[in-house]
Structure 1
Amino acid sequence: MDSNRWAPLRGVLKKIRGGAIAVSGGVDSMTLAAFAHQILGADDICMVHAISPAVPEAATARVRAHSARLGWSLSEVDAGEFDDPRYIANPVNRCFYCKSNLYRTLRSICDGVIMSGTNTDDLSDYRPGLQAAAHNDVRHPYVEADMDKASIRSLARSLKLNDISELPASPCLSSRVETGTAIQAPHLALIDNVETWLRKTISAETVRCRIRQQGMVIELDSTSLDGLSSDQRRSILDSALARMPKDVVMAVEFASYQRGSAFVRAQKTLAV
């Protein structure tokens, strides 16, 4: 590992000295956890993973597997966002309520510094979760070390976390639900089920299953979508319908992937 390249991040972590890292199972937080564990050790840094209907089962399995292999101190928590009606209502700033619940939960079990995997690329997006982080004094080591997503992937490779380094971006399952449509655990389980099945069935670069007002929309990158035959499309639609719980009835259609297409942004204000 090129120690000089990662000296700024190492310096940030050594100044923080210890605390807790919110680990979602994605490339950013997983890489930060692995690096911080090397620098600070299990006695001074703990990883906290939220178990939630909004977290894909594969992400939780990934956190548990790497924790066991690398010797992390790991705590699993219920952040309680599904008990918060403001979160369930799925407003434009839903992430604020999600992260507020998460960071309050972490604060209740950790006296040290709370850290996130936020990087410099995230600062240019509308991210209400960053406001929640500011309200809860959360530190962002990557931002303090001026690291973007590409740098994090490079760090993951340096740490021999090759499986982590290639993980595609995958926001929480609630991000697949159109703004203003209530968040429901059965819908999120269905989304996770369909996306997991599709990734195993077709070699698509990007897969998203979204819940829109008109029903379920399966989004694939344009190359993969254009490459599907009519028989393949019908088979996928039939399989998606078959995976729905008995109390969930909705139409299913295809669309080309558009980043954040379920997010209906407020037109006049983005204030919390």
Structure 2
Amino acid sequence: MDKIAAPTPEQLKKQEALKQYFEKLGSVAVAFSSGVDSTYLLKVAHDVLGERAIAVTASSCSFPKRELGEAEAFCRKENIRHFITESEELEIEGFAQNPKNRCYLCKHELFEKILKIAEEQKIAYVVEGSNLDDNGDYRPGLKAVAELGIKSPLRDCGFTKQDIRVLSKALNLSTWEKQSFACLSSRFVYGETISEEKLTMVDKAEQLLLDLGFHQVRVRIHGMMARIEIEPEEFSKLMEKENRERIAKAFREYGFTYVTLDLCGYRMGSMNETLEK
């Protein structure tokens, strides 16, 4: 992670606007994944609203257990009321076939569950953590956000990912340097059937790379082939004999037939590159 400077006056102004945004809403349920964006969003919401800010996390086979554990630990530390809802995407009609609107199907079902919890807890609004940088990629999940009236405070207040990292560090949030993450279903080629077995393979493979010290990782799955995406500056580390042999051996044990390295390196939403512009 590049060196992060102190917040600029403009970034602090955005943070104040975010606080005022929450004050106007009065009470919120934060869709909380323990990622960079939702952690910052939840922290500021709770600082402003106290008990009137709750966190809701979806537990499913496409959400790694480490992320769920981090979500629970953060809420305990910050004394935030935390609700966990089961959201088994594979049971959603059409989801397992991995259509181009897969994310829409998932997000719509998830936010309906969060809205129900918010209603039960007498919370006025549901909020989620997308930011301005999310506008540049194919994001069908944002259609569900719009349809269900979910609020996007970070986008509305003009936050970029860099703003969130800088301000997270200023608030002493460990997530300021956490790698970007998306649900494991995003590792599949559109049209390829998503199964719990393959989700587990991807989860194990990415966890191994994280355990070996690689920072930003994706293991894309093409049939039974793994396509590893890491930052180009870490290519040499992966190609060290001990790491290369350990990764290849472990991936095959997980169920992959072939193990490859993407020479373009990590980039957000690489599976969307096949979609028509």
TM-score higher than 0.5: yes
Measured in 1, the distance between the counterparts of 2:273 and 2:49 equals 41
Mark the CA change 1:118 to 1:5 in structure 2 (over 3 Å): closer, same or farther: closer
Secondary structure of 1:48's counterpart equals strand
Q: Which residue number corresponds to residue 253 of structure 1?
A: 260
The structural deviation recorded for 1:128 is: 0.5
1:68-115 CA-partner distances (Å, limit 9, x unpaired): 000001000012422113221111121101100101111222122110
Q: Which has the higher helix share?
A: 2
2:14·2:157 contact (CA, 8 Å) conserved in 1? no
Measured in 1, the distance between the counterparts of 2:182 and 2:49 equals 28
Give aligned-pair identity as a percent. 28
- Listed as ranges, the matches of 1:182-221 within 5 Å are 182-201=193-212, 203-213=213-223, 215-221=225-231
Measured in 2, the distance between the counterparts of 1:135 and 1:253 equals 39
Greater shift, 190-199 or 29-38, is seen at 190-199
Secondary structure of 2:220's counterpart equals strand
1:124-169 CA-partner distances (Å, limit 9, x unpaired): 22210110001100001112211111111122122211x1111111
Q: Which residue number corresponds to residue 233 of structure 2?
A: 223
Mark the CA change 1:117 to 1:249 in structure 2 (over 3 Å): closer, same or farther: closer
The structural deviation recorded for 1:17 is: 0.8
Greater shift, 172-181 or 212-221, is seen at 212-221
- Listed as ranges, the matches of 1:62-211 within 5 Å are 62-111=70-119, 112-161=124-173, 163-201=174-212, 203-211=213-221
Mark the CA change 1:231 to 1:47 in structure 2 (over 3 Å): closer, same or farther: closer
Letter in 1 for 2:146: A
Secondary structure of 1:234's counterpart equals helix
Letter in 2 for 1:240: F
1:207-230 CA-partner distances (Å, limit 9, x unpaired): 221111352222332332244135
- Listed as ranges, the matches of 1:29-48 within 5 Å are 29-42=38-51, 44-48=52-56
Residues paired across the two proteins, number: 261
The alignment's TM-score, normalised by the length of structure 2, stands at 0.87
Measured in 2, the distance between the counterparts of 1:106 and 1:98 equals 12
Measured in 1, the distance between the counterparts of 2:77 and 2:242 equals 43
1:179·1:264 contact (CA, 8 Å) conserved in 2? no
Secondary structure of 2:57's counterpart equals strand
Q: List alignment gaps of at least 5 residues for structure 2.
A: 1-6
Greater shift, 229-238 or 112-121, is seen at 229-238
Q: Which residue number corresponds to residue 36 of structure 2?
A: 27
Measured in 2, the distance between the counterparts of 1:5 and 1:249 equals 45
2:138·2:272 contact (CA, 8 Å) conserved in 1? no
Mark the CA change 1:194 to 1:132 in structure 2 (over 3 Å): closer, same or farther: same
Measured in 2, the distance between the counterparts of 1:229 and 1:80 equals 39
The alignment's TM-score, normalised by the length of structure 1, stands at 0.89
Measured in 2, the distance between the counterparts of 1:265 and 1:173 equals 18
Mark the CA change 1:200 to 1:139 in structure 2 (over 3 Å): closer, same or farther: same
1:159-188 CA-partner distances (Å, limit 9, x unpaired): 211x11111111111111111111111211
1:25·1:62 contact (CA, 8 Å) conserved in 2? yes
**Displacement over 4 Å in runs of 4+:** 1-5
Letter in 1 for 2:234: S
1:175·1:263 contact (CA, 8 Å) conserved in 2? no
Given candidates 238, 251, 258, the residue that maps to 2:249 is: 238
1:212·1:262 contact (CA, 8 Å) conserved in 2? no
Secondary structure of 1:143's counterpart equals helix
Mark the CA change 1:146 to 1:64 in structure 2 (over 3 Å): closer, same or farther: same
Mark the CA change 1:258 to 1:220 in structure 2 (over 3 Å): closer, same or farther: closer
2:226·2:256 contact (CA, 8 Å) conserved in 1? no
